[in-house]
């Protein structure tokens, strides 16, 4: 199955995606930057529409919001919420972030909890820069490279000779975020870390193994026999057990809320 279809199937099956946690962690982006009345907004990977709806209320009747996603089932939920809220300034489009071409420029582009799913992050940032009006901004979230036990998962695979690329690696440190955004011509880069981690019981922590569900292009774990996965999972369990302390196992969920701008003079310069 190709990568895009894998992502579509994964998210189409998550019709219980919307809850207070997923909503609050998404709309927290508005704490750092907010679209203004009359502005145009693109919500990339809109999912169940939390950002799109929040933005639609902020831009008001004179502004508009376009939300794009590839998961039909999540878009249906978003559409229902938009109808319930009686919002007429949001349009949802079922289209991949990589192929979407805007017919207008935007004041703001949001992307919550999705950017690491795009196989070419540099290309998508360049595209967003092109989509923005001068002085427009992009706002997205990404996670530290060790969030969600990512390093323990990668190390357990390595012990068994399997190289599993870390899904959170490309935007997993402030330096890398800064670098990729600068390469795409963005300036005034703000990176706001928020620690959403908690202590888990050992049982909860070992159950967080999810290596074969990482949505990578060519996840090597998908090719393995169940017995090999069982061996890797056993190594992961050992590594997690070694992290247990009095309060349990620390589960890092360090989220970077990132805002960057397309500054007018850079725009003039790069033309």
Ligand X SMILES: C[S@@+](CC[C@H](N)C(=O)[O-])C[C@H]1O[C@@H](n2cnc3c(N)ncnc32)[C@H](O)[C@@H]1O
Contact between 66 and ligand X by CB under 6 A: the answer reads no
Which listed range, 53-61, 92-100, 187-195, 236-244, lies at the site for ligand X (CB under 6 A)? 92-100
Residue choice 60, 96, 165, 248 for contact with ligand X (CB under 6 A): 96
Yes or no: say if 125 and 186 are a contact pair by the CB < 8 Å rule. Answer: yes
Contacting ligand X within 68-87 (CB under 6 A) = 68-71, 74
Shortest reach from residue 150's CB to ligand X, in Å = 15
118 binds ligand X (CB under 6 A): yes
65 near ligand X, judged by CB under 6 A = no
Q: Pick the stretch among 90-98, 175-183, 246-254, 255-263 that binds ligand X (CB under 6 A).
A: 90-98
Binding site residues, ligand X, CB under 6 A: 7, 11, 22, 26, 45-48, 50-51, 68-71, 74, 96-98, 112-114, 117-118
């Amino acid at each position: 199955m190709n990568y895009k279809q894998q992502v579509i199937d994964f998210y189409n099956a998550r019709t219980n995606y919307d809850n207070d946690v997923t909503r609050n962690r998404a709309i927290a982006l508005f704490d750092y930057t907010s679209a203004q009345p009359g502005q145009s907004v693109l919500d990339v990977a809109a999912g169940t529409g939390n950002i799109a709806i929040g933005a639609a209320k902020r831009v008001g009747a004179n502004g508009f919001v376009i939300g794009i996603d590839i998961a039909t089932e999540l878009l249906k939920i978003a559409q229902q919420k938009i109808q319930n809220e009686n919002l007429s300034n949001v349009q949802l489009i079922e289209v991949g972030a990589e192929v979407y071409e805007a017919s207008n420029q935007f004041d703001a582009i949001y992307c919550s909890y999705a950017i690491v799913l795009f196989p070419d992050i540099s290309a998508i940032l360049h595209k967003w820069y092109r989509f923005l009006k001068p002085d427009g901004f992009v706002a997205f979230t990404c996670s530290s490279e060790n969030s969600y036990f990512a390093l323990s998962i990668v190390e357990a695979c390595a012990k068994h000779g399997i190289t599993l690329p870390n899904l959170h690696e490309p935007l997993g440190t402030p330096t890398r975020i800064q670098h990729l955004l600068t390469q795409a011509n963005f300036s005034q880069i703000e990176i706001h870390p928020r620690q959403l981690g908690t202590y888990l019981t050992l049982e909860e922590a070992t159950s967080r193994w999810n290596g074969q569900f990482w949505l990578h292009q060519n996840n090597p774990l998908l090719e393995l026999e169940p017995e090999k996965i069982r061996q890797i999972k056993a190594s992961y369990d050992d590594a997690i057990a070694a992290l247990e302390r009095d309060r349990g196992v620390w589960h890092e969920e360090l989220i970077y809320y990132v805002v960057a701008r397309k500054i007018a003079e850079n725009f003039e310069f790069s033309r």
